């Protein structure tokens, strides 16, 4: 085999190995994104399980706040439905509704000293706040993995392999402007 033949074989071998490396990296990004979503899903399920307990505890004390409790439960149902069909837009809307409902619920709870003193309420409140913080952290991580995946799908030469093997971008988990806005505490306590 001539020197030109070795160079040609070496170039082809290099191109094949490089394409395999790109493919494997894209597969890793896809699975990292799926794992990041799964971590959010686990936390959403845990919160989903805790909310009825919180609402039941509050019902014992908050007879006149039924609308607030119903908002929380409706949002919980919306999140469950969106999770089941993996609809990120619906999930974002339901998350916004739930956050508003929980903020209102915890603000209204301030008017009920017996409720605030209840050990079950304090435990559930602490647990849900902890879950909310963990969900926010996982949401940030998920969006970062989605961004890494989506950027890689658009970079050259990765986009050639991505298109050839039908890799698709993921959607970011975004929330409405209402959720991003500061909470008006005066309105909640007024």
* Cβ-contact 127, 53 below 8 angstroms: no
Q: pLDDT per residue over 22-68, tens digit each?
A: 999 999 999 999 999 999 999 999 998 999 988 888 888 787 777 88
- Model confidence over 108-157: pLDDT tens digits? 888 888 888 888 888 999 999 999 999 999 999 999 999 999 999 999 99
Mean pLDDT of 81-87: 86
Q: Yes or no: say if 67 and 93 are a contact pair by the CB < 8 Å rule.
A: no
Query: Which H helix or E strand runs over 26?
Result: helix 3-59
* Structural contact between residues 43 and 135, judged by C-beta atoms closer than 8 angstroms: yes
- Share the mean pLDDT of the chain: 87
Burial 4-31 (b: 16+ CB within 10 A, else e): eeeeeeeeeeeeeeebeebbeebeebbe
Domains of the chain in start order, with CATH, are: 3-189 (1.20.1440.20)
pLDDT interval class at 178 (50, 70, 90) = low
Contact between 80 and 46 under an 8 Å Cβ cutoff? The reply is no
Q: Residue 177: its pLDDT value, please?
A: 58
Q: CA 125 → CA 56, 74, 90, 102, 131, distances in Å?
A: 13, 19, 25, 10, 10
**pLDDT, average across residues 87-98:** 86
The structure tokens listed for 11 are 């170039």
Identify the residue with better confidence: 31 or 187: 31
Tens of pLDDT, residues 95-104: 888 888 888 8
């Amino acid at each position: 085999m001539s020197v030109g033949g070795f160079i040609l074989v070496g170039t082809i071998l290099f191109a094949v190995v490089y394409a395999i490396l790109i493919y494997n990296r894209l597969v890793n990004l896809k699975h990292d994104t799926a794992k990041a979503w799964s971590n959010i899903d686990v936390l959403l399920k845990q919160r989903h399980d805790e909310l009825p307990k919180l609402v039941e505890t509050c019902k014992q004390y908050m007879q006149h706040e039924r609308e607030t409790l119903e908002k929380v439960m409706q949002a919980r149902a919306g999140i469950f439905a969106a999770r089941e069909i993996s609809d990120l837009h619906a999930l974002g809307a339901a998350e916004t509704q739930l956050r508003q409902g929980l903020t209102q619920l915890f603000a209204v709870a301030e008017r009920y000293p017996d409720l605030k003193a209840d050990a079950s309420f304090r435990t559930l409140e602490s647990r849900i706040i902890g879950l909310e913080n963990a969900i926010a952290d996982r949401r940030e991580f998920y969006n970062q993995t989605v961004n890494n995946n989506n950027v890689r799908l658009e970079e050259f030469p990765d986009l050639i392999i991505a298109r050839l093997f039908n890799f698709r971008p993921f959607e970011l988990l975004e929330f409405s402007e209402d959720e991003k806005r500061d909470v008006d505490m005066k309105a909640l306590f007024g």
